Each structure stands twice: as structure tokens, then as C-alpha cells.
Amino acid sequence: MNRKLALALAAVLASTAAQAADLSVISFGGTNQKAQEKAYYLPFQKATGNRIVAGEYNGEQAKIKAMVEAGKVSWDVVEVESPELVRGCEEGLYEKLDYSKIAPKADFVPGTATECGLGFFVWSTAMAYNADKVGAKAPASWVDFWDTKTWPGKRGLRKGAKFTLEIALMADGVPPEQVYAQLATKAGVDRAFKKLDQLKANIQWWEAGAQPPQMLASGDVTMAAAFNGRIASAQKEGRNLKIVWAGNIYDVDAWAIPKGTANRDLAYSFIKFVAQPENQRVYSGEIPYGPTHVKTVAGIDAKVAAELPTAPANLKGALQSNTRFWVDHGEELEQRFNSWAAR
């Protein structure tokens, strides 16, 4: 075999190997991951020939930090919540994205295309209840969530300071637009914990997103703070669960690339694929989380669009999660929460 032919063959083999490379994509699992599989993983595999190796985690950044610091990064693309993304970006855990490889930032909802991550859906933590358990009068706010006389039974809350403290203040009458100003003060934090004291005996904590709909369906709790997409999935399964949008807290999940992955170019290709409006429409049709590409909503069925966190009616009276606040104060508030919860 002459040298030119050998080099040409080597180039073809290298190209084939690159095309056939596996891409490790890590998300939070559950119904969200199933929607991602239909909207993104399977179509991406079909379009590129690259296999998606899907995994899941609970958002623990320590594992990513250990990978990056050891120089042994086995995760190529990771779904990250906003505060963890900002913190990880500042710590150098994630690649700073080159949007010329994805799409112009102006194509996305403001604040979703960030330095180290592309937000790919808007989600909400909202109050949910089992309509078979609450009686004729339905709860309508976080104030009602604390009313165990009118609506007896346990209450499901995520075990952590984030969102639990915001919910407590709204239950105590603080308007959504004043919540973070309150939490920025010692008096406001004390007020939130004092409100939680009132409900503590009735709280059933949850840690994974799949738990609240299960707890509601089984009757273990009467009401719960829950991810809107999880409740929607339970509704599709025939569960008589309802969402109360008043006072919902919305945020964005993003795709980020851990620094040091050997598959960075392929990771970029995947994120670009996820960013396309036609793919985001499929995703929002599977699970009612709001798309981030500005051209997506126009092609979504009106009934589906009405159940998204980004629907105008659902944004009325909603609270946007303050990422900077949780980056700056999260550690101290989580420590206080853990001490309080352990008592």
C-alpha cells in the first residue's frame, strides 16, 4: 500500500471513529429524561450516528469537581440548575461556551444563554394537591398550604433551603417581588424559619422530583411543592392532581460542558441540536416545560402552551428564582436549614 493511500485510509477510519463516538449526557432522570430522549437523544443519534450514553444524577457538583480536578472527565454534557452553573463557571468546572458554534444569544429568552450553559427549558416549582383528598374547597395559595385545619394532612416540601424559604415567606404574606429583599436580611431569614416552625410537624420532606406526585397519589400528603412537569406526567397517567400556579417559582436548567472532556466538539454539536426550535417543540409536547428559543412557542399547540410555566397567565404572580442570591447566600442558608431540620 502506497503512502498516500495509507494516509487516505487512516483519515477515513479516523472520521468514522469520530462519527461513531459515544457522548455521555447526564440529566436528572425520570420523566424529564424520557422527554429528552424522544426530543433530543434519539433524533441526534439518527442524524449523526453518534450514540448517546444517558446517565442521571441529583445535581451533586462535587462529583464534577473531582473529575475536572483529577483530569479524568467522563461526562461530556451535564444538565445543571442555575446557581450550580454560575458557581461551577466561576470555579472553572465548565467550558465557557462559544455561541458561534451554537446559535446567536439573541435567539433565546433573555438570561437563558449564559457564559457556561445554554438553558434549554424553563421549569417551575408550584403547589400541587390531590383533588380527591382536599374536599369541595380547593387550596389556592401558599397561605392555604399552611392551613392544616381546613385541609388536614401532611405537606410535601423539598429538603433544602432553596425555594423552601421563598415558599415560607410567601405563605407569611410577603409578595413575590419582595421575597429576595426579605431573604437578604437576618430578619427576613428569621421570619421564614419561624413560619416553617409552624408547619414542621406536618412536613414530609422529599429529595427526588419523582416523590411528590407519588406522595400525593398515595395520600401520604395532601399538598406538596412539586416540579410542574412531574405533576403533568402524573395527570397523564390518570391521577387527579392539580397545580396551583399562584406563587410558583420558575428557573432554568441548562446544558453545560465539563472542562476537560475529550468530546468537546461533539458536545457542542449536541447542544446546537437541542437549541433548534423544532426539537424544543417536541420536548415541550412531551413534558410541559417552557422552551428557551424564542421561535419555539409559535409552533406549539395552544393547549400545551397554556400549561407551560412561560404561559402569561402562569407567570402572573410568579417568582423568578434569584440565581445570584443563591450563589452568594446558598451555603450559609443550607447550613442553617440542615441544622433546623435536624432538630
d(CA 141, CA 146): 9
Predicted confidence at residue 310, as pLDDT, reads: 85
Q: What does the pLDDT read at residue 284?
A: 93
Q: Block means of pLDDT (10 residues each) for the chain, length 343 residues?
A: 47 46 94 94 97 93 96 97 94 98 94 95 95 91 97 96 97 97 98 98 94 96 95 92 96 97 97 97 92 90 88 89 92 96 93
- Options 3.40.50.620, 3.40.190.10, 3.30.360.10, 3.90.930.60; CATH for 123-251+315-342 is 3.40.190.10
Please tell me the predicted confidence (pLDDT) of residue 311: 87
* Residue range(s) in the chain whose domain bears CATH number 3.40.190.10: 15-120+253-310, 123-251+315-342
CA distances 102 to 41, 94, 134, 266, Å, are: 17, 16, 47, 12
Q: What integer pLDDT is reported at residue 20 of this predicted model?
A: 62
Supply the CATH classification number for the domain 15-120+253-310. 3.40.190.10
